[in-house]
């Protein structure tokens, strides 16, 4: 099962048994799916931990700040092209679209980093308190 959330597709990760299937077959399928999920986990952990090793609070802060700046530039750009009361030109719309894409890419990268930590693929070093 999947659902569209904003501009992203969210996929339900839970096993949903078919009521018409024998319980023994359901357990076997669930076991197979757990093996598949573990294989994906192990691959992600191996690749990501060798590529990034660890993430820290400063890295999250930098990426969050960059996304916030990109969002502000996008909105400011959209306001600027509508400032004169005229319809924006195709080039202006393309410029605003580029600003939006920049914001969305940075936001997606932030979310991906968070998921890497949440799923245990990469270690996280919190900031000292």
For the stretch 57-71, pLDDT in tens is 999 999 999 999 999
Same domain as 45, residue 35: yes
Same domain as 127, residue 79: yes
Residue 90 domain boundaries: 54-129
- Whether 128 and 102 have beta carbons less than 8 Å apart is answered as no
Structural domains in the chain (count): 2
Cα–Cα dist 126/112, whole Å: 17
The DSSP bridge pattern shows strands 8-11 and 2-5 to be antiparallel
- Whether 113 and 60 have beta carbons less than 8 Å apart is answered as yes
- The more confident residue out of 5 and 18 is 18
pTM (two decimals)? 0.74
- The more confident residue out of 102 and 53 is 102
Share of the chain above pLDDT 90, in %: 68
Share of the chain above pLDDT 70, in %: 85
What would the DSSP string read from start to end of 97-129? HHHHHHHHHHHHHHHHHHHHHHTTSSEEEPPP-
pLDDT surpasses 50 at 128:
yes
- The more confident residue out of 3 and 81 is 81
Same domain as 60, residue 47: no
For the stretch 33-49, pLDDT in tens is 999 999 999 999 999 98
Q: How many CB atoms lie within 10 A of CB 40?
A: 11
pLDDT band at 1 (very low <50, low <70, confident <90, very high): very low
Same domain as 128, residue 77: yes
């Amino acid at each position: 099962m999947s659902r569209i959330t904003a501009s992203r597709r969210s996929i339900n990760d839970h096993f949903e048994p078919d009521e018409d299937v024998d319980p023994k077959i359901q357990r076997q399928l669930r076991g197979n799916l757990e093996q598949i999920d573990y294989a994906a986990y192990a691959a992600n952990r191996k690749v990501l931990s060798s590529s990034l090793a660890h993430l820290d609070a400063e890295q999250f802060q930098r990426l969050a700040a960059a996304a916030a700046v990109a969002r502000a530039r996008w909105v400011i750009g959209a306001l600027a092209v509508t400032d004169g009361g005229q319809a924006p030109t195709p080039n202006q719309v393309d410029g605003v679209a580029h600003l939006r894409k920049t914001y969305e890419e940075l936001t997606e990268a932030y979310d991906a980093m968070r998921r890497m930590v949440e799923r245990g693929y990469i270690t996280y070093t919190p900031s000292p308190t």
